[in-house]
């Protein structure tokens, strides 16, 4: 108690001579912090303001399936559906494989092996998305075309598989963290009661780790929705809803692939451009919501469950 007051007294005594320099450092830090927050706000505001022209122009078929800039039709339903569809395929591929592999790794006793696997996963997550795109173009789309006897493998399914491979490392490593965070003694106790491994997982580990796994899943979903280059190269860029609706073997379009293809071609200030910015605004809103939600899950302690 007296130590802190002595500290305060000393700080006060010292404060005057150094006050000028302290102000400079403090002002620099405050300035940086303000600038960081301003940047985020400016990005979101810019997107919102540039979305206004299409929102204010009547009869643009925004909530429709027709995309035809020459006729003033800017329906966002087809790419929105495409984004969700591709994301679902990626999830169906990545989540079960990721979860089961994470279980296997977290039950391994060797911490050396765990660290090696983690490093490899980090390396995989660091492969640029354009390189995944190249692999998709050079191999995957040809394999898919051969497998289903199609003329072109640039279809929704190919994009989904590629995306599933891309989000696997992120999901796997975060899920493994969540599983490893469950104290070892829970496993030991459960096993000594004669429970099988699947029962230990189902009844002991999963209830403890499910919040962390949910966080990992949401973060991976956000990544999947925002991924551009790889998807753009293999999805075929067709501005129509697939028919029948859930046909993964038809070409499609996601919001990101549409943006990647068309932003460079549309004139700044046109309604066409504004429609694209509006799409990107929707995308950002979804991914930010997913990420903030996932941080909420990932930072909660297991004991809160």
Partner 1 sequence: MFKIKNRRHFYEQSFAFASRLSLIICAGVLLFLLGSIFIQGISALSLEFLFTPSSSFGKSGGIFYQLFGSLLMVLVAALLVLPLALGTALFRNSYNKNSAIAHIMDQSLYALNAIPSVTYGIFGLIFFVNLLNTGISWFVGSIILAIMMLPTVTLSTYQAMAAIPKIYHENAAALGLTRTEIVRRVTLPQSFHGVVTGLLIGLSRAIGETAPIMFIATAFSGVSVPQSLVEPVSTLPTHILELAQQSTDPQALQNAWGASLTLVLLAATFSGLALFLRSRLNSEGHQ
Site for partner 1 in 138-167 (CB under 8 A): 138-139, 165
If one asks whether residue 50 binds partner 1 (CB under 8 A), the answer comes out as: yes
Closest distance to partner 1 from the beta carbon of 295 (Å): 5
Q: What's the rounded Cα separation, in Å, for the pair 252 and 160?
A: 11
Residue of 122, 146, 188, 203 that binds partner 1 (CB under 8 A): 122
Integer CA distances (angstroms), 256 to 33, 159, 262, 301, in order: 30, 12, 10, 34
Closest distance to partner 1 from the beta carbon of 244 (Å): 29
If one asks whether residue 48 binds partner 1 (CB under 8 A), the answer comes out as: no
Residue of 113, 116, 120, 193 that binds partner 1 (CB under 8 A): 120
Residues contacting 136, CB < 8 A, separation 6+: 158, 159, 162, 230, 233, 234
The 10 Å Cβ neighbour count of residue 136 is 28
Q: Rank residues 28 and 246 by Cβ distance to partner 1 and give the closer one.
A: 28
Q: Rank residues 188 and 265 by Cβ distance to partner 1 and give the closer one.
A: 265
Span interacting with partner 1, options 52-60, 180-188, 207-215, 262-270, rule CB under 8 A: 262-270
If one asks whether residue 205 binds partner 1 (CB under 8 A), the answer comes out as: no
Q: What are phi and psi of 116, to 5 degrees?
A: -65, -45
Residue 276 · residue 258 · CB < 8 Å: yes
Span interacting with partner 1, options 34-42, 63-71, 207-215, 244-252, rule CB under 8 A: 34-42
Q: What's the rounded Cα separation, in Å, for the pair 248 and 250?
A: 6
């Amino acid at each position: 108690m007296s130590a802190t007051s002595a500290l305060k007294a000393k700080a006060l005594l010292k404060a005057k001579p150094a006050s000028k320099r302290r102000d400079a450092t403090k002002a620099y830090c405050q300035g940086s912090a303000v600038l960081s927050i301003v940047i985020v706000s400016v990005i979101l505001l810019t997107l919102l303001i540039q979305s206004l022209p299409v929102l204010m122009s009547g009869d643009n078929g925004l909530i429709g399936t027709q995309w035809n800039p020459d006729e003033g039709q800017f329906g966002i339903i087809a790419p929105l559906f495409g984004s969700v569809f591709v994301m679902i395929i990626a999830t169906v591929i990545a989540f079960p494989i990721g979860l089961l592999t994470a279980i296997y790794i977290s039950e391994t006793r060797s911490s050396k092996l765990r660290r090696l696997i983690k490093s490899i996963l980090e390396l995989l997550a660091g492969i640029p998305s354009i390189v995944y795109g190249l692999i998709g173009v050079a191999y995957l789309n040809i394999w898919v075309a051969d497998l289903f006897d199609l003329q072109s493998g640039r279809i929704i399914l190919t994009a989904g598989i590629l995306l599933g491979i891309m989000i696997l490392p992120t999901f796997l490593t975060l899920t493994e963290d969540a599983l490893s965070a469950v104290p070892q003694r829970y496993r030991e106790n459960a096993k000594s009661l004669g429970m099988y491994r699947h029962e230990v997982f189902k009844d002991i580990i999963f209830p403890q780790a499910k919040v962390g796994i949910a966080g990992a899943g949401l973060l991976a979903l956000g990544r999947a929705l925002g991924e551009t280059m790889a998807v753009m190269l293999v999805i075929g860029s067709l501005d129509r809803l697939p028919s029948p609706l859930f046909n993964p073997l038809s070409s499609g379009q996601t919001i990101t692939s549409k943006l990647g293809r068309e932003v460079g071609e549309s004139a700044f200030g046109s309604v066409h451009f504004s429609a694209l910015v509006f799409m990107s605004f929707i995308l950002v809103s979804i991914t930010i919501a997913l990420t903030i939600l996932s941080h909420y899950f990932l930072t909660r302690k297991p004991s809160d469950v």
